[in-house]
Structure 1
Amino acid sequence: MFLSLNNSMILVFDLKQNNLKNKEHVKNVQLLMLDNKPFGLKGKYGLYDSSEWWDNIKEGFLPNRVISGEIIRLYKSGQGNNGRFNAFELMLGDGSKWTSGIYVNDESDFKLFKIGKKVSIFYILEELKTGDVIDLVVEMAVSI
């Protein structure tokens, strides 16, 4: 686990666990990395979801950040929305705001996301072939 959690937080999303259930997605991300098209992850730290990639995350070689704050707004985002809140806005300790989608391994955990709850997110900063950098959610936890 990459997030340091106390007893008041529960891990609701783990990318490694998610990838075990979504082999086709992992395969597609890897194929896009390996082709010559200018799309997808660059792969500077290894092939997505490979042992090398996870080791580089664990060792801290991939740039990363932890965002923690309190949910101040829940909202619906995206075209394929199923009618429930799937995104939130956090108020961070320094007074700034951060938005994120809700990531869960178990659909029943969506109900844990409520205004006033604390959320912590561990991101890696993964470079795309275009040179842009994306925040990739590795873990997400919410207060119980």
Structure 2
Amino acid sequence: MRLDHEAVGRPMKIVYSLRDELRENPQRVAQVQALTLNRQKPDMGLKGAHGLYGSDEWWQSIATGRIKTQVTTGTITELYFAGQDSRWGDEVNSFRMKLEDDSIVEDSIYPTLKSERRLFVVGAVVNVVHAFDKMKQQPRFFGSPNYLKILLEMAISLPSHDA
């Protein structure tokens, strides 16, 4: 999956790619797939209806739309610390971004390289794509379908001196 960065109108850098991460960490793929296939845990893991996580069939299901995806593009308005994870000792691990319709969305900072965290600044444009894969446990407690929101790719605009 590659985002359409030309639609943003600014030079962008891909700072996270799930495909690349899974290529580097095949054990993660194996663990997620094993949980999907484990009939002893019927309420845990992905359903696997459109291929096992990380498989060629799964990626094809994303490409063809059988697994729903959502692209979100916005401008960072605020950086902040959320949760207990301070993986690299930084206080900033999340951001709020304003979308074109003036709504505000929150997300986490997911650069593959620690050095790319510097790109996450107020005013930067972020382009994110998520997939929504069905969980085994259906429905959610309030009756709606239960999906896992999976980050596929994240890109951020480059400062003018990096372009």
TM-score normalised by the chain length of structure 1: 0.93
Corresponding residue number in structure 1 for 2:101: 94
> What is the CA RMSD across the aligned residues, in angstroms?
1.3
**Following the alignment from structure 2 to structure 1, what is the Cα–Cα distance between the partners of residues 80 and 37?**
36
* Percent identity of equivalent pairs: 35
1:4 counterpart letter in structure 2 = D
Q: Mark the runs of 5 or more structure 2 residues left unpaired by the alignment.
A: 139-145, 159-163
Residue of structure 2 aligned with 1:118, choices 118, 125, 128: 125
In 1, Cα distance between equivalents of 2:26 and 2:81: 27
Aligned length: 144
Match runs of 1:25-104 below 5 Å: 25-36=28-39, 37=41, 38-82=43-87, 83-84=89-90, 85-104=92-111
Deviations 1:60-119 (A, max 9, x none): 221111011001111112223143211111111111111111112222111110111000
> 1:134 aligns to what?
148
Structure 1 CA distance for aligned equivalents of residues 18 and 86 of structure 2: 21
Normalised by the size of structure 2, how large is the TM-score? 0.83
Please tell me the residue identity of whatever aligns with 2:127.
S
Is the Cα–Cα contact under 8 Å of residues 17 and 105 in structure 1 kept in the other structure? Answer: no
